[in-house]
Each structure stands twice: as structure tokens, then as C-alpha cells.
Amino acid sequence: MEKNAEIAELAIGDPHLGEGCGRFEDYLGGAGLGGLLQAFVRRHPRAKRLRLRLTGDIVDFSSIRHLGRWGIIPTEQAAFARIETCLSGNQDFWAPIRLFLEDFRAEVIFMIGNHDLDLAWPSVQWRLSRALATAGSCRVGFEEESRLGDVRVVHGDGFDLLHSNLPSSSRFVSRAGRLELRVPISARFTVGLVSWLKHRCPTLGYLAQHGPAWALGLIHRSRFLSSALFYLTTLKLKRYLLDHPEIRTVVAGHTHLAGVWDLRLKDGRHVTYLNNGAALGQVDPWRPWRPRYTEWTPVEIVQIGSATRAKLLHFDPTTSTFSDW
């Protein structure tokens, strides 16, 4: 590749794919992913390499039934069966990615979040690669974090005070002669509770599904609440940045709160924090009875030689156009 070749990357996250049908699906089918990727290609006609980065919580494994059970099942057999269900039930999500890979010799990178820890299983990675990369020259990769010049990309659960996952070196444990995922107790409780409510108690499940989105909308409109949430969700992030002076921009989702913030650290540095929100069905906090909608807020990362820049965008699916956040 040429020394100053352009590499363009689009980072989206948190669609929380389930079985692809039912009342409590997070991702809205037909939400315009194909149009998003096509607009991204048109935006970078000279790019030598195009990449889609899925920044975690792509699949909500606990919301997919295995042998009639929802919730966390930490075995590889359950994870493989669940990814099969997700692939067959969400073709409106997977098909545009497959076309993007095939038509433009592009890449797709999966990052593991707190809802899709099962992506750590080798058989699940193999199945996704086979499903998406039908052409031999296409590439499907899996990463914990990514270093792109002075830009660092992570899912963001590592900065959460409650939902932090275990490091990859201690992610598996042997129990009764078989390998299982080690899921933190906090994740077992929160993820398992929401999954149980969604499927076993429909009324409370509706509140569990839509209540947080409604509450987050109110937080956005309250200066006090948004400042408090921002403070809590950046405590660990700031500590992390102090240990990594080479980082000038960090991209992380997880909280579903899209935005751009300037973080001032104790050492005097300023680091830009980009949150790419969530590609799932949102609720209007002022009109919760209205139909849900999908708001695309991807982060665009462009590398030309040794220079790297990242910016948060807003995508309008009605016009297939991007605008700066």
C-alpha cells in the first residue's frame, strides 16, 4: 500500500441484535444500514481501504433463547447456537455488511462488549467469518481494543463502575471438565434481570426496555443530571488516559449517550472523547407512545500516512447524507 494511502473507517455500536422478531427487539429491522454504508463509500472515493468497526454489544446473546432458556449461559455450545439464530433472524443487518465486504474488498472488525462476551469463543468467531466473508480476500477480525495512531477505540464497558468485563487473559474457566466464560457477578445480575423481565413479565419488561431510553433522554435535557452522569462515567476513563499519554482521542460507546467531550486531565492534557451512541430503537422521552426510531451516530476515523483524525457524525437515513455532530 502507498505510504500516504487513505484508510477510512466507520465505527458503529450497540445494536443489541436478538432473535430478529418479537416485541422486545432492540434493533429496528430495516433501519437503513445499507444506506449508511453506501453513503460512507461515496464519502471516501479515494480510500485504498475501507473498514467497518462494530464497537461492541452487537449481539445481545442473553436475549436469544437456547433450549427454551434466556439469560446468560456461559457455554460454547449455547453461544454457537445463539449466533446461528441471530444470523438467520437479522438478515437486514448482516446482508448489507456482507455486500459491503464483497463489493469493496472491505474489512469488518468486531469489538467485544459486555452483552456479547460470547464473541470470545473461537467457534463463534469462525461462524461469523464464514457468514460474512464469502470472498476469500475479505477480512473479518475480532479485537479487544484498537490503536489507530493517537486514536484509541474500545467498547467502553471497561470504564463502567458496574459493568467492567474481565481481561481476556482470565475470561475462561474450567468447570466440571468443560470450559466456560467467566461473567462478572454485576453483569450476571443486570443483564440477566433485564432479559428475564423482557420475556417473563411483559409489562415490567416494557419498562425495562424503554424506561432507560426515556430516562436517558431526560438526562440529556437536564444540565445537573447530565453533568452527574458524565462525571461518573469518566472517572475510570480519565485514570486510563493518565496511564496512556500517547492518546489524544478515545472512541467508546457502551453508555448509548452519543456526544463529543473535551476531557481535561490532571497532567494538563486535553483528550477528545467521542461516544458513538447506539444503533438501536430509541424512544422520544417527551412522546414515549410514538413509534421508536433509529438514530445513526457513527464515528468516522481516517488515516493518511501517520496522521489520524476522528469525528462524530450524524446520518439521516431519509436523505442518505452525513452531517457533523
Query: DSSP string spanning 281-299?
Result: EE--TT-TTSPPEE-B-PE
The whole-number pLDDT of residue 218 equals 62
Mean pLDDT of the chain: 85
Query: CA nearest 18: which of 280, 228, 298, 295?
Result: 280
Average pLDDT over residues 142-163: 89
**pLDDT, tens digit, for every residue of 15-25?**
989 998 766 67
pLDDT band at residue 105, thresholds of 50, 70 and 90?
confident
Query: CA 85 to CA 64: how far, in whole Å?
Result: 8
Axis-axis angle for helices 91-104, 122-132 (nearest 10): 70
Q: What pLDDT is recorded for position 173?
A: 84
Residue 230 pLDDT more than 80?
A: no
Query: How many Cβ atoms from other residues are within 10 Å of residue 256's Cβ?
Result: 20
Domains in the chain (CATH in brackets) are 6-324 (3.60.21)
- pLDDT for the residue 277: 86
Q: Please state, in angstroms and rounded to a whole number, the distance separating the CA atoms of residues 101 and 253.
A: 23
Helices assigned H by DSSP within the chain: 33-43, 76-89, 91-104, 122-132, 185-200, 202-221, 223-242
Residues facing residue 86 across a β-bridge: none
pLDDT above 80 (res 288): no
Confidence band for 204, pLDDT divided at 50, 70 and 90? low
Find out whether 105 and 134 touch, Cβ atoms under 8 Å. Answer: no
Q: What pLDDT does residue 137 have? A: 52
* pLDDT for 77: 96
pTM value?
A: 0.90
**Percent of the chain surpassing pLDDT 70:** 82
Residue 139 makes CB contacts below 8 A (sequence gap 6+) with 107, 108, 133
Report, as an integer, the average pLDDT of 282-290. Answer: 63
pLDDT band at 92 (very low <50, low <70, confident <90, very high): very high
Other CB atoms within 10 A of residue 306 CB: 9
Instruction: Give pLDDT, residue 217.
Output: 58
153-196 confidence digits (pLDDT tens): 999 988 887 777 777 777 888 888 888 888 877 777 777 777 77
Q: How many beta carbons lie within 10 A of that of residue 206, not counting itself?
A: 14
Interval 116-140 mean pLDDT: 87
